[in-house]
Structure 1
Amino acid sequence: MSNLDRKITDDFSQYTVRKDLVSEVKGNALVPSYVLEYLLSKYATTTDQESINAGVKRVRDILADNYVHREEANLIQSKIREKGRYQVIDKVQVALNEKLDRYEATFENLGISRVVVDSITVDKNPKLLVTGIWCMCTLVYAYSGDRDEVPWRLHRLMPVQMSHDDRENYLAMRAKFTAGEWIDLLMQSVGFNPDLFGDRAKLLHLVRMIPFVERNYNLIELGPKGTGKSHIYSEFSPHGMLISGGEVTAAKLFVNNANKQIGLVGYWDTVAFDEFAGKAKKADKALVDIMKNYMANKSFSRGTNVMQAEASMVF
């Protein structure tokens, strides 16, 4: 372990994780890397190899027992009913039901909705109301006979990704590192070995992270396939959206004129387009015009209203 690694482990003891362990535990679970890293940071953060092995096994067991595959949703629902309660890992999003004056959760893979969530849980995890977060939840089955009520009850919710910003601690820790050490730390945080890169190459890789922290920062990166251009936008952060193939409509990206619902630019910090260019691609001129105006002026118009958004775009 290098001196920098020791320093990182000491100062960020609750947030460090060995990147090479992620591929070991992922298997066939369609879970983003940042979720696996969060679990590993909870159970495998020590430098002792035996403890790390035990932590990796614990994370594997958690995924095997609790992760919900979409095709197994009915099976998991049955287990909850038969056992009375069951623990699941799923992406959960919460919305306020103003008619009933309560918060209700939707479980993405499990396929259930209208699960009542208490206000305290929402206050502790505000991102539940925005894009949703991956959580480990204990669900209880309690059928009351009332057809208007769902039988699912949320007994416990524990986020398995960062559910709030700890900015003060982050800034305090930054003061303990030199500029060079901090650049190397950032490189390691996205899975690169900084020892293999020169100063210029490090900065070029870190440029990919700017759209996550700067509003309306637009970036284009040219290069051959398989060079990791899109990886960071799909795996690094829950605040980025990668559109595979680069195909998207104006309604999905900006606003749907039929229901007036704002599109991706209203919900994500970064919207990235993978394989955006090519001879086989056919550009939608209306979409291109809206995108040009949005990137230049941070606003767009669909119909009669002019709207603003802060999402960065990456091509």
Structure 2
Amino acid sequence: MEDKLHECFEDMVVYKDLKKSNFFSSLELPSFLRDWVLKRFEDDNGDYDIEAVTDFVKTYLPKKEEWLSIKNRITYENERVKILTKISVDIDIKTGEISFSLPDFGVANKETIIEPAVWEQYKDELTKSQETWGVIELGYRLPDDTVKPKITGKIKMTGFTNFCPYVADLDYYKDVRSEFTTAEWIDILLGAIDYNAAGYNTEDEKLAMLTRLLPFLEKRLNLLELAPKGTGKSYVFGNLSKYGTLTDGGKITRAKMFYDTSRHTPGFVVGTDYVAIDEVKLVTFNDVNEMRSIMQGYMERGRFNIGGYEGESSAGIVLLGNIAIDNMDEYKSMFSELPSLFQESALVDRIHGFIKGWDIPKMSDNLKVSGWALNTEYFCTVLHMLRDDASYRAIVDEIVEVSGNAYVRHTEAVKRIATAYLKLLFPNVRSVDDVDRRIFNHYCLRPAVNMRKIIWKQLSILDSEYKDDDKQMPTFSVKD
């Protein structure tokens, strides 16, 4: 299996030893950065020089609390400092001034500037998305009181190198899937997200874990997972992909989530693949009515309007929570422990599917990957690219048959989830002729129906309207 993995993916394979080594854990790097560093320093046997890795991380990946020292080096020592981080650029419409923020260090746009000559050189890379990862060179623009208007001192960007060290070939990824059996491919996917396939008892356990990846590769897929503690929810949604956002439980505001009218800056949902709200039981809102209105509209259409700002995004909303073991039963009311906003049927109806987190084993050393596996950064980049491929949904639309007069939200939810499964497990499918109907039904359609059925059962408990005949779950089948 490892030989085949090397043969098919070559440079995109790294040796991960999360079971035996705590070195990278101590560095506190997200998986996509860890694998990028591993690839940079590993030899053909998967060995690396710990001192060299430590020096690189210390130089280019400083912690937030080191920002004051960096600022001193820039402003008073007149140094040029390079760091690997994410950057968000903004253009002031009134003045034409270009500024940037460094979210991981709390650096705001008002403190920074990108001068025209530098902007001209790097604008193509910096405007590809709302936030971009890269090696950023920082310097200092001195203040000048002798001119009018006077020039204030600001941190300036003097250079930029895009983080991605390669071009992911999506067509190759699709084609190479045919070299593996379904069982082998499932194990490869688990290794790509840092899990040891041999640590699971059954294929069902493996698939339950992989269900968490569906919002990574399908646009505006809204999911809810309720689970016991210790199953790795936060790790998957907050550690694997640079394209997603995990926000901790606490106070969620309209400004933080969608648009800040005072700062004129978009919130979490803009420019990201998904927003996962962790510890959803503990979430509070400044204005529940306002958030209900905006959230329902966004989850339905992917758009919102705040103070005249028209926002649009393809980010899915993922709600993550722990509930009492006694309440982990799809036939009982599971939402009673959640905030009132997430007990309202109109919003719950816009959640496409439910992940039964109790089917996912709790994290243990035996589930940590130890061996050759796909580079997490490469893998999540491919998942991100698959979001734009509409051919899979066209295939699902063609081969899935739905009983008459089906409630449209049920149909859309099932088809959206089935499409995500198809992309994840069978990316080599290019047309309906490539689809094995029996396998598609087993791995894609049936799980999608079951995920939506749980939402419908909970809706029926929350609101008697959903017991009406016109809201019943339709019948889904695969056309011959």
TM over 0.5: yes
Task: Tell me, in whole angstroms, the C-alpha distance in 1 between the residues paired with 2:101 and 2:88.
Answer: 5
Indicate the residue corresponding to 2:132 in structure 1.
132
Question: Where does 1:245-284 land on structure 2 (aligned, <5 Å)?
Answer: 245=249, 247-256=251-260, 262-277=266-281, 284=288
**Contact in 1 for aligned 2:122/2:160 (Cα 8 Å):** yes
- What secondary structure sits across from 1:14 in the alignment? helix
Aligned mate of 2:67, from 43, 65, 73: 73
Confirm or deny that 1:189 pairs with 2:186: no
- What secondary structure sits across from 1:209 in the alignment? helix
Cα distance, 1:236 vs. partner?
1.0
The change in CA–CA distance for 1:42 and 1:97 in structure 2 (over 3 A counts) is farther
Indicate the residue corresponding to 1:314 in structure 2.
318
What amino acid sits opposite 2:181 in the alignment?
T
Q: Which moved more, 1:150-159 or 1:10-19?
A: 150-159
Aligned mate of 1:10, from 1, 7, 11: 7
Cα distance, 1:8 vs. partner?
2.4
**Contact in 2 for aligned 1:125/1:163 (Cα 8 Å):** no
The higher-RCO structure (CA 8 Å, 6+ apart) is 2
Rg comparison, structure with higher value: 2
- What secondary structure sits across from 1:314 in the alignment? strand
Task: Tell me, in whole angstroms, the C-alpha distance in 2 between the residues paired with 1:130 and 1:28.
Answer: 27
What amino acid sits opposite 1:70 in the alignment?
K
The change in CA–CA distance for 1:216 and 1:246 in structure 2 (over 3 A counts) is farther
- What secondary structure sits across from 1:27 in the alignment? helix
Task: Tell me, in whole angstroms, the C-alpha distance in 1 between the residues paired with 2:151 and 2:284.
Answer: 48
- What secondary structure sits across from 1:19 in the alignment? strand
- What secondary structure sits across from 1:266 in the alignment? coil
**Contact in 2 for aligned 1:211/1:270 (Cα 8 Å):** yes
Greater helix content: 2
Task: Tell me, in whole angstroms, the C-alpha distance in 2 between the residues paired with 1:150 and 1:12.
Answer: 48
Cα distance, 1:35 vs. partner?
1.4
- What secondary structure sits across from 1:208 in the alignment? helix
Task: Tell me, in whole angstroms, the C-alpha distance in 2 between the residues paired with 1:154 and 1:302.
Answer: 31
Question: Where does 1:156-235 land on structure 2 (aligned, <5 Å)?
Answer: 156-161=159-164, 166-197=169-200, 198-235=202-239
Q: Which moved more, 1:60-69 or 1:297-306?
A: 297-306
Percent same amino acid at aligned positions? Answer: 26
- What secondary structure sits across from 1:53 in the alignment? coil
Cα distance, 1:169 vs. partner?
4.0
Cα distance, 1:247 vs. partner?
3.4
**Contact in 1 for aligned 2:113/2:157 (Cα 8 Å):** no
> Residue deviations 1:26-64, cap 9 Å, x none?
5355x43311221212222x3425xx232x432211112
User: Structure 2: 5+ residue runs without aligned partners?
Assistant: 320-480
- What secondary structure sits across from 1:239 in the alignment? coil
What amino acid sits opposite 1:193 in the alignment?
N
Task: Tell me, in whole angstroms, the C-alpha distance in 2 between the residues paired with 1:70 and 1:259.
Answer: 22
Indicate the residue corresponding to 2:423 in structure 1.
none
Question: Where does 1:14-33 land on structure 2 (aligned, <5 Å)?
Answer: 14-20=11-17, 23-27=22-26, 29=28, 31-33=29-31
User: Structure 1: 5+ residue runs without aligned partners?
Assistant: none
Indicate the residue corresponding to 2:381 in structure 1.
none
Cα distance, 1:212 vs. partner?
1.4
The change in CA–CA distance for 1:102 and 1:170 in structure 2 (over 3 A counts) is farther
Indicate the residue corresponding to 1:35 in structure 2.
33
Task: Tell me, in whole angstroms, the C-alpha distance in 2 between the residues paired with 1:103 and 1:301.
Answer: 25
- What secondary structure sits across from 2:55 in the alignment? helix
The change in CA–CA distance for 1:233 and 1:267 in structure 2 (over 3 A counts) is same
**Contact in 2 for aligned 1:95/1:105 (Cα 8 Å):** yes
What is the TM-score when the length of structure 2 is the normalising length? 0.54
> Residue deviations 1:127-177, cap 9 Å, x none?
4x41231x3334455759586375756454334457976434433443443
Indicate the residue corresponding to 1:113 in structure 2.
112
Cα distance, 1:76 vs. partner?
1.8
Aligned mate of 1:94, from 89, 92, 99: 89
Aligned Cα root-mean-square deviation (Å): 3.6
Cα distance, 1:304 vs. partner?
7.1
Task: Tell me, in whole angstroms, the C-alpha distance in 2 between the residues paired with 1:66 and 1:260.
Answer: 30
